[in-house]
Each structure stands twice: as C-alpha cells, then as structure tokens.
Amino acid sequence: MIACDFAQLRPIGLQQAIASAAAHLDFSSSTAQLMRVSAVHRDSIGVHDGASERAAQILPCLQHALQQQDTTLAVGDWVATDADAAAHGSLWITERLSPATQIARRGNDGRRQVLASNVDTALLVMGLDGDFNPRRLERYLAIVLAAHVTPVVVLSKADVADDVPGKLALLRQRLPQHVPLFAIDTRHAYDVAILEPWLGAGQTLVLLGSSGAGKSSLTNTLCAADQATNGVRHGDGRGRHTTTARSLHLCADGACIIDTPGLRSWQADADADTLAATFDDIAALAATCQFRDCRHASEPGCQVRGAVDGDRLRNYHKLLRDARRSEETPLERIAARAKWKTILKAGMERGKDKRR
C-alpha cells in the first residue's frame, strides 16, 4: 500500500485519476509514498510531498526501464518513493506512474526530450517586443495541441511594446479561434488575474517560450516566487537565459506552475497526421480542394492558398516536413538522399545538353 494524503498533495496537482492509479500499485514496503517530481538535477531528483521538497535517487532498475522506453523522469511526473533506512535515510524513486499528458520535443539527433508531464494547461509566453514571432508561436501551439494539453497564449510586455492592437489582430487572424489570447504586463497582479480560470486547485500549468519572453516574471507574479529575471540584448531584443532548469512552483490558489528554460529549437514530437489536425482551418479548407491529395502549392482548384495566410501555410508545410523526417528510418533517409542525388545529377546533365 502506498501512502497518499490527497489533501496534502492537491496543491501540487494531484487529481483523482492519479490517486486511483496509485492505489492500484502493489508495494510490499510499508514506507512507500506518492510524491511529485519538482526538479531534475544532474546528480539527483527533487521530489515534493505537498509540504516540502527532498532530494531522491532513481532506483537502477527503474532507470533501466525508462531508458528501454526511450524516456526519462521529467518535472511533473508522479512517482512512488521509499526511504532506505539502511542507507542513512536515503530516498529512492522506485516507480513512475504513467503520465496522463507529456509535452516533449525532438532534438536534432532525433532523441525525444520530455519537457513536462501531467500538465493541464500550457501558457505560451511571447513578448510583444523583438520576441514577437507568429511562426514560432504556431509551432509551440501545434505541439501543445498534439500533446492534448490546453493552450493559452500570453503576450507579455504589453506596457512597453509598439502597435499592440495590430499584433493582436494579426495573431487572432492566424491562430484557431478557440485558443485564448491575452496581452498583459506579467509583472503586475491585476494584469495576470485574467488567467485565474486556469489556476484552480489541483491544476498544473507549464510556461513555454523563448528566453527573455517573461516566463520567470509571470511565475513570480502568479506564485509569489523569487526567481531571478533578466533583460534582453539591446542589439536584437533577444533574451538571455535566466531559468536554467525546469522547476515546479506552488500558487496561492492551489494550482502549480512548471517554469522552463527558454527554447531555442523545437522539433515536433508528433506524427504528420497529428500535426496536420492541429491546423484545423487548413484541414477544413483542404476537404473542398479539387484534388484529394492537394499539397496546396500550385494545384488548380486549391481552396487553401487564397484563404490562409501565406506565411502560416509555409509554416504548416515546414512542420509536416519535420514530422515526416523524424518518422523516417535510417534506411529511408539514405534512400531519400540517393533519390535526390539522382534527380540533381539528371538536372545537371540536362543543363549541359542544352548548353551544347
């Protein structure tokens, strides 16, 4: 039996589904306890019991099992822990509960990196200054929706940015209508109060965005935390890394927030069909195209090209290419490279023939 104090664990995001799953785990130890991963360090894992945070180690057999599944522990995971009295009270993580949701990305080498687990809402933070980038926001949005997590777009620095109404109108035109969109000053409580509907007891939120977008400032305001903040470079408005590791913070209203470092690269951890479904406006128009396999490039009778913003459509195609490349096996990549080499060589030969 595992110890699970629902009232104590509720402020760090415990929900009934997790509690029920934990109750069905079979433990021979009487000291097993349900806790949540609050930080991941190089040499230890921070776990929280709703009252305090402690350092723990992963049991080697669990570490091996996670590696076999091509995953690791992430902030937000619910785990079973057990104190080993024979090792001077060391705390061991012995089991990980299957996460309800996971937001992850793929590295350039194809490896999967989990950013946060068991998240209800993702606050996609983007500055209205030099950080403003609709294409990047669409990429964030597509991957969050693919993970079945509710997105909320938070546009920071509304107090100092230029042409805020114009930028809001541009995003409202490009983003799905069901996605909430707010322009606020993340440093002031009266501005961030608009996010209260997503801050109920037991809710878990994650902050995603680039460096300098205002994630740490938003965390400080929502949770009365004391995270360091930093400015942006004067030359290009790009942010400096302030948060260097993902961490869990408790809010006064009973929700908890996972803050993350700024994301420099973001490759989809989803297949092409899942990503395509997140661009629901394009999918709806594509159904009325003249050809069933229309690529919305130069085909006659395409209903998408004239109705969808051109930059959004190019971003959509790029996301699909990334997803399809990540699905390819090494042999398929080799075959694709050989195919394009043959096409390129044939094109060069035709060019030589014309010049003769």
Q: What CATH code is carried by the domain that includes residue 154? A: 3.40.50.300
What tens digit of pLDDT does each residue of 289-307 get? Answer: 888 888 888 888 888 888 8
pLDDT the model gives residue 89: 66
Is the pLDDT at 322 greater than 90? The verdict is no
The pTM of this model reads 0.81
Could you tell me which residues come within 8 angstroms of residue 340 by beta carbon, excluding any fewer than 6 positions away? none
- The answer to the question of residue 354 being in a domain is no
Of 63, 96, 129, the one marking the end of a domain is 96
Is the pLDDT at 276 greater than 60? The verdict is yes
- The answer to the question of residue 181 being in a domain is yes
Q: Are residues 10 and 91 in the same domain?
A: yes
What tens digit of pLDDT does each residue of 154-209 get? Answer: 999 988 888 899 999 999 988 888 899 999 998 888 888 999 999 999 999 999 98
Q: Are residues 128 and 144 in the same domain?
A: yes
Contact 41, 213 (CB under 8 A): no
- The answer to the question of residue 336 being in a domain is no
Q: In the chain, how many domains are there?
A: 3
Percent of the chain with pLDDT strictly greater than 90: 33
Which long-range contacts link 92-99 to residues 24+ away (Cβ below 8 Å)? 92/56, 92/57, 92/58, 92/59, 93/45, 93/47, 93/56, 93/57, 93/58, 93/59, 93/62, 94/27, 94/32, 94/59, 94/62, 95/25, 95/62, 96/62, 96/66, 97/18, 97/21, 97/22, 97/25, 98/21
Is the pLDDT at 272 greater than 80? The verdict is no
Q: Are residues 223 and 112 in the same domain?
A: yes
pLDDT the model gives residue 235: 46
Contact 326, 318 (CB under 8 A): no
Using DSSP's 3-state secondary structure scheme, residue 116 falls into strand
Q: Are residues 254 and 141 in the same domain?
A: yes
pLDDT-derived band at 238 (thresholds 50, 70, 90) equals very low
pLDDT the model gives residue 312: 86
Inter-CA distances, 113 with 146, 216, 242, Å: 15, 21, 20
Q: Which of 243, 247, 282, 283 is nearest to 263 (CA)?
A: 243
Q: Are residues 276 and 244 in the same domain?
A: no
Runs of H (alpha helix) within 12-163: 16-23, 60-68, 134-146
Helix-strand-coil split of the chain, %, nearest 5: 35, 20, 40
pLDDT the model gives residue 246: 80
Q: Which structural domain, as residue segments, surrounds residue 296?
A: 271-330
For residues 300 and 64, what is the distance between their CA atoms, to the nearest angstrom?
54
